[in-house]
Amino acid sequence: MPENQNERTPFVVKDCALIAIATGEKAQNLRELRDRLLVIDAGSIYYHFWAGRLRPGFDDPEYNNDFASWGRHALHDGKIAERLGAIDPKEFESLEDLRHELIEVIEERLDESEMVPWAKSDQQFNFLTSQIVVFTTKKSLEHPKDLVDAIPRMSVGSIFYHFIDAMRRTPNKTDDFREWLSGFNQKYAGLYDEIAKLDPYFQTLTQIREQLSQIFKSYFKRSSK
């Protein structure tokens, strides 16, 4: 559990929204998808793996990223959909490493068959990127125990900002909850470790909120005995 110099700094609850931005890059078939991935901005890869969680209807996703979903529903290729859907972006040090994995998986599939899967003309893969807009909620928490009541009331936008987006902007590449707890000089090391076990990728934001809520509630219930 890393330490920082911000002990006792309040936890400021924020909310966010993502504005989708078209890149102009499209793919009609699996080979074109591979070719575009070679040059597309890394921010677009981030968008298609993570940003979908803020779209309506993601509470029961069939696939966890847009590439896998397109492979299944537009290309009708169950094998590529399964392989792309199994990629966990958390396992990669950088978006460039994730890009290489995507390309490798696609090239492996292309090598297996002489037929290149095509999508209908109205089912192209449109590469998007995004701009995050952050909102203040005027909620400030002084003690980790305050999160017991605060987390269940957080919007999914707040959960995305503090638990997912935080991983690419915090010094320790962790969520904001652990980043804040690290400023209490190991006092909440056990709570920190419990949060670290929560997998943000193969769950919806609603499920993440519920699990975070349970983690904080259980921890402080035990510590009060």
pLDDT digit string, tens, across residues 118-133: 999 999 999 999 999 9
According to the model, what pLDDT value does residue 132 have? 94
* pLDDT single digits (tens) 67-120: 999 999 999 999 999 999 999 999 998 999 999 999 999 999 999 988 898 999
Residue 54 is assigned to a structural domain of this protein: yes
Tell whether 40 and 121 lie within a shared domain: yes
Residue 5 is assigned to a structural domain of this protein: no
Tell whether 20 and 122 lie within a shared domain: yes
What pTM value is reported for the model? 0.89
* Domain closes at, from 128, 157, 181: 128
Residue 207 structural domain: 139-223
DSSP element (H, E) containing 126: strand 125-141
Tell whether 30 and 121 lie within a shared domain: yes
DSSP conformational letter for 202: S
Tell whether 26 and 88 lie within a shared domain: yes
Residue 196 is assigned to a structural domain of this protein: yes
Residue 8 is assigned to a structural domain of this protein: no
How many domains does the chain fold into? Answer: 2
What do you get for the CA distance between the two ends of the chain, in Å? 24
Tell whether 122 and 148 lie within a shared domain: no
* pLDDT single digits (tens) 185-201: 889 999 999 999 999 89
Residue pair 2/172 in contact (Cβ under 8 Å)? The answer is yes
* Domain closes at, from 101, 128, 155: 128
Tell whether 26 and 124 lie within a shared domain: yes
Tell whether 30 and 72 lie within a shared domain: yes
Tell whether 121 and 168 lie within a shared domain: no
Determine the Cα–Cα distance for residues 151 and 218; give it in Å rounded to an integer: 13
Residue 162 is assigned to a structural domain of this protein: yes
Tell whether 169 and 104 lie within a shared domain: no
Tell whether 166 and 107 lie within a shared domain: no
* Domain closes at, from 78, 108, 128: 128
* pLDDT single digits (tens) 30-70: 999 999 999 999 999 999 999 988 887 665 578 899 999 99
Residue 3 clears pLDDT 60, i.e. is over it: no
Residue 5 clears pLDDT 80, i.e. is over it: no
Tell whether 95 and 114 lie within a shared domain: yes
Range 1-21 average pLDDT: 79
Tell whether 21 and 117 lie within a shared domain: yes
CA nearest neighbour of 48 among 156, 131, 122, 127: 127
**What confidence tier does 224 reach under pLDDT thresholds 50, 70, 90?**
confident
According to the model, what pLDDT value does residue 97 have? 97
Mean pLDDT of the chain: 92
* pLDDT single digits (tens) 145-175: 999 999 999 999 999 999 999 999 888 889 9
Determine the Cα–Cα distance for residues 211 and 207; give it in Å rounded to an integer: 6
Residue 1 is assigned to a structural domain of this protein: no
